[in-house]
A and B are shown apart, each in its own frame.
Chain A
Amino acid sequence: METSIIASCAIRGHQIFLNGTLRYEAPAAASLTEFLVGAYRHFGLSYPKFFKMDVLCKLAFLTAELLLPATGILDRLDAGGIGVVLANRSSSLLTDLAHQQSIQEADNHFPSPAVFVYTLPNIAIGEISIRHQLSGENTLFVADAYSPDTLQAYVAQLLAEGSCQACLCGWLEAGLTSHETFFYVVESHEPSSTTRRPHHVPALETLYAQPLY
């Protein structure tokens, strides 16, 4: 079997790229929430729970929402055959801070359950999995920086051992001063003469560095 990167999607600043094409852009003056909600409405999505999600999950949801339908894997593979492997740097820091602030003062102690449920970064994988009914292998790594070596090796192993037939992978970051996503889908397939983008580290480095590539 061979493995190929069949599609990619990235959010950089207030721009969303799908397979090398700019698909949505918000004005630079827009807040992050305005950008995310603007994209949701621009793409005509209908999933009210989106508005309850924290920023990390909104980023993950939007990226997956554009990427997965563009691959066709939701139609041709069983839900158990699609894995999700993501990584990020700041874990769920923004929501951790929001929760911490809600319990900071003893006489104003109103922790919100709706905030607390997002104080784990892998909830983002849960939101994607619920939305698309995915039940394959899933993992979220917390690392200093985007590491195509780690992701490539881990996902290649999952595909090689048959734990999944395709995998939604990538980098998902929402920090105090910046945010970004870079998701891609890798699928295993029979060797073919068709030109495909190989699931190799150099390809992942290029795609990450150049969303328009």
Chain B
Amino acid sequence: MSTLTEQLKNQIIQELNLVDINPADVNPDAPLFDYDGLGLDSIDALELTVILSKHYGIKVTDPAKMKQAFFSLNTLADFITEHQAAAVAA
């Protein structure tokens, strides 16, 4: 698991108050919005956009396009990496 994925997992667990979840048990490829993953709900999806803005400076302007990025911890980490690379290139 990449450092970014690990960092994301801990930020999500902490900021979404997922007290009963053991970080070591979370599969980074499991769907975030499924109980095989973190069991997130629609309010948590909004909270993820806050995490992206607060910690990574990424403003989500079209939530509909986030479905793929929000699929799993790894897809979210990929989205952040790509966004940061694009920002550096620009």
Contacts and interface: CB of A to CB of B under 8 A. Distances in A.
Q: Do A and B come from one complex?
A: yes
A51 B17 contact: yes
B47 A114 contact: yes
A136 to B, nearest CB: 24
Contacts, number: 30
Interface stretch (B38-46, B67-75, B79-87): B38-46
B53 interface: yes
Contacts of B43: 52, 113-114, 117
A110 B50 contact: yes
Contact of A113 (B18, B19, B47): B47
B16 A114 contact: yes
Interface residues of B, number: 15
B62 interface: no
Q: Contact size class for A? A: 10 to 19
A51 B50 contact: no
B50 A48 contact: no
Interface string B3-33: 0000000000001111111000000000000
A100 to B, nearest CB: 16
Interface in A43-70: 48, 51-52
A57 to B, nearest CB: 12
B54 interface: yes
Given A112-B47, A114-B47, A117-B43, A48 B18 contact: yes
A143 interface: no
Interface string A107-122: 0001111100100000
A110 B44 contact: no
B46 A52 contact: no
B60 to A, nearest CB: 12
Contacts of A22: none
A207 B7 CA distance: 50
B34 to A, nearest CB: 13
Contact of A51 (B18, B46, B47): B18
Contacts of B54: 110
A77 interface: no
Nearest to A115: B47
A112 B50 contact: yes
Interface in B54-68: 54
Given A48-B18, A51-B19, A113-B43, 13 more contacts: A48-B20, A48-B21, A48-B39, A51-B20, A52-B43, A110-B50, A111-B50, A113-B46, A113-B50, A114-B17, A114-B43, A114-B44, A117-B43
9 contacts: A37-B19, A51-B18, A51-B19, A110-B53, A110-B54, A112-B15, A112-B50, A114-B43, A114-B44
9 nearest A-B pairs in the assembled complex, by CB-CB distance? A113-B46, A51-B19, A51-B17, A110-B54, A114-B47, A52-B17, A48-B20, A113-B43, A113-B47
